[in-house]
Amino acid sequence: MKIKINQKDFEPIIDYNQIKKRIRLIGIQLNVAYENQHPVFVGVLNGCFMFMADLMKQIHIACEISFVKLSSYDGTERREQVNELIGLDANLEGREVVIIEDIVDSGNSLKHTLDLVNAQKPASVAVCTLLLKPYALKHTFDNIAYVGFEIANDFVVGYGLDYHGMGRTLPDIYREIKGKP
């Protein structure tokens, strides 16, 4: 089913059942990887809220949760500059850290988050992202360890991702339809 948000048309690409299955598998991987540790999961708001909430329901190990809030989009366009709206409030020194992202596309916000986290000298840092756009990356990362889905360089909404604040609460993920459908 196609949808319209602020005069843009979108079509579904990943339904909620696929998302739930993938999150269950990522949760198992994280439980095994951090079984005898006490990691801190750092969510990057606003986009991660649905993914992180569902993911944390699958985590059955001792852990802590923290958040940062960044802004790197202007509508559908990625900006080079990343604005930090809410800073990191947890002490990460010597800790195992897992950064939770909704999407990694250019990598600008992930680079900013990694700089914030690494400044505190954690024991390790892994990145867990629901969506990865490998062909949009402008940076190289060696710690993206958990990926839900690799997608094309399309603009997407739903399941936490928005367009001008709209579409975040959609359970499925949709991509923008370019040109005439």
Which residues are annotated as catalytic? 105
Q: Are 144 and 127 in contact (CB under 8 A)?
A: yes
Q: Are 112 and 80 in contact (CB under 8 A)?
A: no
Q: What is the DSSP letter of 177?
A: P
What token pair was written down for 140?
A: 């190289």
* Neighbour count for residue 168 (Cβ, 10 Å): 17
**158 pairs with which residues across the strands?**
161
CA distance 123 to 138: 26
